[in-house]
Amino acid sequence: MTKDDAYYARAEGEGTRKARRPTKGSRGKRNAAPREALTREDWILAARKALIKGGIGAVRIVPLAEALKVTRGGFYWHFKGRQDLLDALLDDWVRTNTAAFEDVLKEPGRNGRAEFRTIVDIWVNEKGYSPAWDAAVRNWAGLSRKVAAVVKRVDQHRIDIIHQVFLDVGYRDPEALVRARITYFHQVGYYALGLEETRERRLELLPIYTESLIGKPPA
Separation between Cα atoms, residue 115 and residue 95, nearest integer Å = 20
CATH of the domain at 48: 1.10.10.60
pLDDT over 70 (residue 93)? yes
- Name the residue among 187, 188, 183 with its Cα closest to residue 169: 183
User: How many domains, the chain?
Assistant: 2
Is residue 135, in this structure, part of any structural domain at all? Answer: yes
In a domain, 24, yes or no: yes
Q: Is pLDDT larger for residue 55 or for residue 74?
A: 55
pLDDT at 216: 80
Asked if the structure places residue 116 within a domain, the reply is yes
Residues 68 and 115 in one domain: no
Domain end call among 70, 88, 106: 88
Residues 109 and 210 in one domain: yes
Distance from the Cα of residue 178 to its chain's centroid: 24
Specify whether 209 is located in the same domain as 177.
Answer: yes
Q: Is residue 44 part of a domain?
A: yes
Is residue 219 in some structural domain?
A: no
Q: Is the pLDDT of residue 7 over 80?
A: no
Whole-number Å distance between alpha carbons of 124 and 100: 13
Same domain as 132, residue 74: no
Q: Which of 69, 88, 107 is the last residue of a domain?
A: 88
Same-domain check for residues 109 and 205: yes
Segment 193-210, tens digit of pLDDT? 777 778 788 888 888 888
Q: Of 88, 114, 138, which closes a domain?
A: 88
176 within 8 A of 218, measured Cβ to Cβ = no
Please indicate, yes or no, whether residues 139 and 205 belong to a single structural domain of this protein.
yes
Print the domain residue range for 156: 97-214
Judge if 42 and 82 occupy the same domain.
yes
Domain check: are 59 and 163 in the same one? no
Between 1 and 182, the higher pLDDT residue: 182
In a shared domain, residues 121 and 170: yes
Q: Is residue 26 part of a domain?
A: yes
Residue 18 lies inside a defined structural domain of this protein: yes
**Residue 183 clears pLDDT 80, i.e. is over it:** yes
* Other beta carbons within 10 Å of 89: 24
CA distances from 142 to 37, 42, 64, 193 (A): 35, 26, 23, 16
Q: Is residue 32 part of a domain?
A: yes
pLDDT at residue 19 in the model: 45
Same domain, 79 and 147: no
CB atoms within 10 A of CB 160: 15
Closest of 177, 187, 164, 160 to residue 111, by C-alpha: 164
Is residue 158 located within the same domain as residue 194? yes
pLDDT digits (tens, 9 = 90+) for 15-66: 334 444 444 444 444 444 444 478 999 999 999 999 999 999 999 999 999 9
Q: How many helices (H) and strands (E) does the chain have?
A: 11, 0
Among 94, 13, 77, 17, which Cα is nearest to 42's?
Answer: 77
Q: What is the tens place of the pLDDT at every residue in 135-173?
A: 999 999 999 999 999 999 999 999 999 999 999 999 999
Q: Give the helix, strand, coil percentages of the chain, each rounded to 5.
A: 75, 0, 25
Are 7 and 34 members of one domain? yes
